Every structure is written in C-alpha cells, then in structure tokens.
C-alpha cells in the first residue's frame, strides 16, 4: 500500500498527491482489530457454539444439539428474567434520560454555582459499582440503615429490598445514582457544542425558553441522546454487580435479571452450556435494541460528517 501512494505522488502531480499520499496502510489497524476480535468477537462465536453443548466446566463440552435452546424457550425462569431485564432497562432509561438531559442542559451554563454543583454530582462516578451497591445495601438495611429514619417520612417501608417491586426499583435507582453524572456530562458536552447563533436567532424571533428547548436544544442533541441511550440500554441490560450485591436476585427470583440468571446457571450450578444460551440471548437483545436505536436516529450516518475526505 505505501508503495502505491508514493508512486502516485511521483506520477500524479500535486493534486493527486495531496489526495493519496500519507494515508496510513489499513494494516495498522490490524493489531487492534485482532486483539478486539480475540477477546470479544471470537468468544461471542464460541458462546453461540457452546449454547449447543453441554459443559460442566471441567470435562470437554459435548454437543447436545438444540436442547439448550428448546429448554430456554420453555423455561419460566428465563422468561421472567428476560421480562425483568427489559423492565429494568425501560425504567432506567425513562428515569435517567430526562433527569440527565435536564441536569446536563442546566449544567452547561457557566455560573460558578453550577461548577460547584457539577463537582458534587460527579462524585458517584468515582465509586465503583461494587462500592455503590454495598453502600446502598448498608443504607437500605431495614434495621440499621438510614432508610429506617428517612423512609417513613416519605411513606417508604424500610424493608424496601424485601419487596419485589421495591427491590427492582431500588436496583434501577442505584444504577441511575451511579451513572447519572456520566450521562449528565455527556449532555453537558453536547449542549455546549450547540452553536449560540441558533439561540440568538430564536431570541430575535421571540421564542421563549420552552420553545428554544424543544426546537433547538432537543433536536441538536439528537446524536447525544442516541449515544447516551445506547450506553444506558446496554448498561442496564447488564446490571450484574448491583443485583448480586444488593439482592442476590431476590426476593425469590424477583430481581433475577438475565445476567444474574446467566451467572447463577453458569458459575454456581456449572451448567455452562445453558448459561451460554442465556448469554447469547442477552447479546441478541442488546444488539437488536442498539441497532434499532442507531438506525432510528440515523446515528450510523456519522461518517458523513467527514467532509472532504
């Protein structure tokens, strides 16, 4: 490849040279692609293969045909887990997006107070998921936690992790608590990139705050919303640490979301073939949702912004 470009330079004069010379050979991307493939794409293929096997983690996997998949579609636990995962994702998205969007747009202003507040908002991002789940596990302990003091003020039963709705909502809330700063920052960055001219034009036309928000800010943030939503959806479909630490999938199986079911099946009962089937189902759902979102919002066209290339 490099030979071709230097050859063109010699023959093609200045214009052609400027077009082709100095373009890096595609081979430069190979190490990165191979590495990513080795630990992400190839395992994905193996997961599909293992989903047609029985494997206890010790002996070699043995093929069992479609047994895992027929079992999967009949398994009430899987159905419940899939439903809970979708529910958790929906709740998380519906809760986090408006709050992060508003906080982000608000924080995009440059006043001193906002800088201070943003600094505080940021702190949860510094704690690991494990730390946050453990913190809330302690805070929500019905006997010792803050919840026994504060809960009654808002009519919340202190044993919130013991009720099925409460536990699921708590997991969604704790996830939001952790990732809100991240999404807020994304929206803050997105908002700051909106050309001020648009607002000035709107002011001249007499558009008020709400019209400006709905007709300028929101449409301009379209790609940001997509990015944030894809990350949010994939993120909440895969809540695992939080569930393992806070509820262990309980009460009963009421917070046993797909990743936790996969973990339990694979690494506690060592039914790794079936776990691979669950994992494959999970990736199908995550990819489908992201693709729909990306297509729906035209985010895949981002390459078209490469003008003159």
Site for other proteins in 221-260 (CB under 8 A): 223-224, 227-228, 230-231, 234, 237-238, 240-241, 245, 258-259
Q: Considering only 73-81, 86-94, 157-165, 191-199, which stretch makes contact with other proteins by CB under 8 A?
A: 191-199
Nearer to other proteins, 84 or 282 (CB): 282
Among residues 129, 89, 131, the alpha carbon closest in space to that of 235 is found at 89
In eight-state DSSP terms, residue 122 is H
CB of 103 to other proteins, least distance (A): 6
User: Binding residue for other proteins (CB under 8 A) from 13, 152, 189, 298?
Assistant: 189
- Measured in whole angstroms, the distance separating CA 198 from the mean position of its chain's CA atoms is 31
CB 170 within 8 A of CB 140: yes
CB of 127 to other proteins, least distance (A): 6
Is residue 124 close enough to count as binding other proteins by CB under 8 A? yes
Based on C-alpha coordinates, what's the Rg of the chain? 25
User: Binding residue for other proteins (CB under 8 A) from 87, 115, 156, 218?
Assistant: 115
User: Binders of other proteins among 81-100, rule CB under 8 A?
Assistant: 99
CB of 48 to other proteins, least distance (A): 9
Quick one: tokens of 158? 């202190």
Long-range contact set of residues 58-62: C-beta below 8 Å, sequence gap at least 24 = 58/270, 61/272, 61/273
> Cα dist. 143→85, 149, 159, 282 in Å?
29, 10, 9, 36
Is residue 7 close enough to count as binding other proteins by CB under 8 A? no
Is residue 123 close enough to count as binding other proteins by CB under 8 A? yes
d(CA 284, CA 270): 23
Is residue 47 close enough to count as binding other proteins by CB under 8 A? yes
SS3 67: helix
Is residue 270 close enough to count as binding other proteins by CB under 8 A? no
User: Binding residue for other proteins (CB under 8 A) from 4, 29, 87, 94?
Assistant: 29
CB of 79 to other proteins, least distance (A): 18
């Amino acid at each position: 490849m490099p030979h071709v470009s230097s050859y063109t330079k010699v023959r093609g004069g200045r214009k052609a040279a400027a077009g082709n010379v100095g373009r890096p050979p595609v081979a430069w991307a190979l190490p990165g692609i191979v590495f990513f493939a080795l630990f992400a794409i190839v395992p994905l293929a193996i997961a599909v293969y293992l989903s047609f096997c029985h494997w206890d983690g010790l002996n070699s996997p043995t093929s069992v045909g479609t047994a895992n998949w027929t079992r999967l579609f009949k398994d009430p636990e899987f159905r419940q887990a899939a439903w809970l995962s979708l529910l958790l994702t929906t709740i998380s998205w519906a809760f986090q997006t408006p709050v992060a969007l508003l906080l982000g747009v608000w924080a995009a202003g440059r006043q001193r107070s906002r800088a201070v507040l943003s600094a505080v908002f940021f702190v949860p991002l510094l704690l690991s998921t494990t730390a946050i789940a453990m913190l809330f596990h302690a805070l929500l302990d019905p006997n010792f936690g803050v919840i026994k003091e504060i809960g009654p003020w808002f009519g919340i039963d202190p044993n919130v992790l013991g009720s099925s709705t409460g536990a699921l909502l708590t997991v969604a809330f704790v996830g939001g608590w952790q990732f809100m700063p991240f999404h807020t920052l994304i929206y803050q960055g997105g908002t700051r990139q909106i050309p001020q001219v648009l607002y000035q034009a709107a002011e001249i036309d007499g558009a008020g705050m709400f019209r400006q928000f709905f007709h300028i800010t929101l449409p301009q943030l379209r790609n940001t919303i997509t990015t944030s939503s894809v990350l949010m959806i994939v993120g909440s479909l895969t809540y695992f640490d939080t569930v393992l630490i806070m509820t262990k999938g309980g009460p009963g199986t009421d917070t046993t979301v797909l990743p936790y079911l996969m973990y339990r099946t694979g690494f506690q009962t060592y039914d790794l073939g079936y776990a691979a089937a669950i994992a494959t189902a999970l990736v199908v759902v995550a990819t489908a949702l992201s693709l729909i979102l990306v297509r729906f919002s035209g985010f895949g066209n981002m390459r078209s912004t490469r003008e003159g290339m």
